[in-house]
Amino acid sequence: MRSEDEIVKEACKLERGRRRRIAEKILETVAKEERAERAVKPGKSARAPYARSLALAGSGHSDRTDVSRDKHGHLAEIYAGKPERR
C-alpha cells in the first residue's frame, strides 16, 4: 500500500473540486467509523448513555420534607377521608 504522503501528492495534482469531494468522502467515512465505535455493543444496555444519570438517581438529598418522605402521613389523610358533616 502507498504511503499517505504519496496519496496526498497525487491528490494535490487534482483540480480543487475533486480534492474537496475526496476530502468530504474521507471525512464522512471517518465519521461513520466513529459513530459505529460509539454504537451500543452487543450485550450492553440500550440505556448505556444514561448509565451515569441512572446511577445518580435517587441519591439527592433535601432538608425539606415532601410527599415522598412523609408519604405515610399523607396517605393516612387521604384514606381516612374527611368526616361527614350533618
The DSSP letter of residue 58 is T
> What is the pLDDT, as a whole number, of residue 13?
94
Q: Considering the domain boundaries, does residue 23 fall inside one?
A: yes
Q: Considering the domain boundaries, does residue 21 fall inside one?
A: yes
C-alpha distances in angstroms, 71 versus 4, 83, 86?
Answer: 68, 21, 30
> What is the pLDDT, as a whole number, of residue 5?
92
Q: Considering the domain boundaries, does residue 6 fall inside one?
A: yes
The number of folded domains in the chain is 1
* CB atoms closer than 10 angstroms to residue 74: 13
Q: Considering the domain boundaries, does residue 4 fall inside one?
A: yes
Provide the domain limits for residue 34: 1-40
Q: Considering the domain boundaries, does residue 65 fall inside one?
A: no
Q: Considering the domain boundaries, does residue 10 fall inside one?
A: yes
Q: What is the mean pLDDT of each run of 10 residues along the chain (86 residues)?
A: 89 92 91 76 60 68 64 70 68
Whole-model pTM?
A: 0.43
H-assigned helices in the chain: 4-12, 16-38, 51-56, 71-80
Q: Considering the domain boundaries, does residue 69 fall inside one?
A: no
Q: Considering the domain boundaries, does residue 86 fall inside one?
A: no
